[in-house]
Amino acid sequence: MHKSANILIADDDPNMLRTAASLLGRCGYNVLTASDGAAALAVFEQAQHAIHLVISDVMMPRMRGPQLLRSIKSLSASTSSLLISGTLSGAIEGGAPFIQKPFTFQKLLATVRDLLAACDFVKIEREQALARSRRVAAILHAQEHQSRNSIAAE
């Protein structure tokens, strides 16, 4: 079991978000939260440490769960993911693991443990470090370009 794993939970239901984060936190996981998919993507991109598992509600404002997971997989293909939903059942696009709400805490914890057991932590950390360095390089390049334009305008 990887108790030092970092988990990001995205859900627009504040009670679900708070409860899942609290329970997983008490089990020793480091938990970050977001109230919608767009906020979750921002948290993922700005995280100081690698996020090993993303748990996302399927239906959320601004960015649905499957879209969030596709965006995260484009940054770190090895990051594990789990979709949850109270309105959908059956197969989910993209084949991400899925559990139906309402679920027991034991079901969530067992699923989280299984997903983390299959994670390649080193590969995830390498992918996310590379994505962070690319973002920093892009920001520096944009700032340099802006500086040159402002000097040229003078």
pLDDT per position as a tens digit, 18-35:
999 999 999 999 999 999
Domain boundaries along the sequence of the chain: 6-153
* Residue 74 predicted with pLDDT over 90: yes
Domain 6-153: CATH class, spelled out: alpha beta
Q: At what angle do helices 14-26 and 105-117 cross, to 10 degrees?
A: 60
Instruction: Note the pLDDT of residue 13.
Output: 93
Dig out the tokens for 9 from the structure. Answer: 């939970």
C-alpha–C-alpha distance, residues 139 and 132, integer Å:
11
pLDDT band, very low/low/confident/very high, at 90 (cuts 50, 70, 90)? low
Taking only the tens place, the pLDDT of each residue in 118-152 is 999 999 999 999 998 888 888 888 888 777 766 66
pLDDT above 70 as % of the chain:
89
